[in-house]
Amino acid sequence: MAMDYGKCAKEIFENLGGRENLISAAHCATRLRLVTVDNSKIDMKKLENVDGVKGVFSNNGQLQLIIGTGTVNKVYEEFLKVSGMTAATKEEVKAAAAAKQPVVKRMVKAMGDVFVPILPAIVASGLMMGLVEALGKAMPAFAGSDWYGILDLLANTAFVFLPVLIAVSAARVFGGNIFLGAVIGMIMIHPNLINAWSVGSMDPSEIPVWRLLGFSIRQVGYQGHVIPVIIAVWLMCKVEKWLHKHVPEMIDLFVTPLCTVMFTAFLTLGVIGPVFSTAENYILSFAQWVITVGHGVGSLIMGALYPFTVVCGIHHMYNVIEAGMLSAEAGLNTWMPIASAANFAQGAACLAVGLKAKNNKTKSVAIPSSLSAALGITEPAIFGVNLRFMKPLLCGMVGGACGALLGAMFHIGATSYGVTGLPGFLITMDYTLQYAITLAVSFGISFALTWVFWKEEEEGTEEIPDSENKSEVQAQGEKGEGGVLYVPVQGKVIPRSEIPDETFASGMLGDGIGIEPETGIVTAPCDGEISTVTDTLHAIGMVSADGMEVLIHVGIDTVNMKGDGFTAFVSAGDKVKAGQKLLTFDLEKIRGAGYSTTTAVLVANSFQYPAFRVEKTGRMERMERVICVKEEE
């Protein structure tokens, strides 16, 4: 049965608290993005149950309704008619969302924006450090070898030069010159300064100082510090922007960089460094106190509250604490067990919902989301399932609290941050058994409590008879052989759960695959009709001849490229044949812009196909058979 776009739009609008509660509206390839005045006026439960809405969550000040490719644009058009609003660009929506966020929330978001891009470097170094240390303990002879020496050097480089990585990322976030940012970061750890880790063992009178115009600047570096670097680069960006506006263009190239670096460097070494490094030490001491207070009671409380910080979008603030712990003399992240226990517990609660639910829509979201949470990505589980039904969220909080308490009692320490759940075993190799017990307790308590206390009928869900889905699939199968998708982009095919975007990886937009492309050519994976081509040309939706709703989304967050590097050869309404060229894209431009090229190929209505299966992963050529929804013969 065709979706009634007008009805969907009308029901969405009716539950948003009225026209006066809406600021702006836009859409991307899969989601309706809204900015509202007061989210408390929104009936979230009714929004989630609107036919056509696959998920609802609030992120960075935006209310996002996941609808799916090929339909979101049509629902959006109807929504504008119903609401009387005018179309807005995604950038305008983001700007409106940011402007209405509290100052503290904007500060926390900025922290997250700084740390998320450098996570791959930190994770890689942390994993390598764990492996090298484990090998050294297992084989004492290896610990004194040249191999150990060079591997240890490679492993700890990211942490030795962490202030430089942070400075570059911060300059990008705050809109400054990233190379000037790098200079500020390098100044703070210059080898002519006394290493920060050596200062603690020195008598204060032995520390040399520069005496300049009545001011004294200690010749001390800021290795291992995080907050002073971010504050310094934020100031640098402000100074640079001011100078660009006031310095004549003919001398701007020379005057602005020189004055920016000189002013920022003096203020950083003289004021920002000493003040904020002291503040950071107090923060780290407080975090350690929270973990140990009352024999782990503090960890128990944080394990319970952690999901709420995810809901509020402020969980990235923990990156500052974890980075500081890793850079300290002990070099271990003892905050990680709290996050890992909390995340794993939410995944367990979500899995219990998925296994117990009879509603096919709930199952199709919950089970993939639970697997995503087990790998450390909890947003799909929390926003898509647990927060919606509430009881699973509370049960997960209990399990997370118990697991976090155990983690604190076991004194588990990790060699990296940004990794939780099952991958966390790779950065907690000295605590493998303790970590396994922590996860097992978190999982067991959350799963059991959810299974006992959550009842589907209490949430007002309706069972959809399997016979309806089967008859619908059979009716589609009678239209022709069909039921097969071929690889649209040459490259390495990966499981859908490994796509580096939680919305795609969770299966919320349908099951499918990811492709790490080798070439920039997209061809039709089947015969069918193009349902949508996004304005930014990075995503195409189509409906196969036998009814599969297919989304091909090139890259992650490539919507921000605004079509640069993309060329489309089809338009909405075009009939296409399998193998026909749909789109080309520039791989190097995408990488140069800092985005992943991983391409999602999803079947939005995969829940209608009980026989859905991915036939092969690994390197594949275009037009190799990759997905089948037909029953095996």
Active site residues: 28, 553
Residues 6+ apart with CB under 8 A from 211: none
Question: Backbone phi, then psi, for 192, in 5-degree steps?
Answer: -75, -15
| DSSP-based three-state secondary structure for 523 | strand
User: What is the biggest distance separating any 2 CA atoms in the chain, rounded to whole angstroms?
Assistant: 88
Taking the C-alpha atoms of residue 354 and residue 115, their distance in angstroms, rounded to an integer, is 33
Q: Which two tokens stand for residue 456?
A: 């589907």
| Residues 200, 196: Cα–Cα separation, whole Å | 8
Instruction: State the Cα–Cα distance between residues 365 and 194, nearest whole angstrom.
Output: 54
Q: What backbone phi and psi angles, to 5 degrees, belong to 25?
A: -145, 140
Cα-flanking dihedrals φ and ψ of residue 491, to 5°?
A: 160, -160
Say whether 352 sits in a helix, a strand or coil.
Answer: helix
Cα 372 to chain centroid distance, Å, stands at: 12
**How far is it, in rounded angstroms, from Cα 534 to Cα 92?**
17
DSSP 227-251: HHHHHHHHHHHHHHHHHHHHS-HHH
Phi, psi of 148, deg, nearest 5: -65, -40
Contact 335, 321 (CB under 8 A): yes
Question: H/E element holding 619?
Answer: strand 618-620
**Contact predicate 196/225, CB 8 Å:** yes
Cα dist. 90→27, 32, 94, 143, 266 in Å? Answer: 7, 10, 6, 53, 40
601 with 514: CB under 8 angstroms? yes
Do 524 and 577 form a contact (C-beta atoms < 8 A)? yes
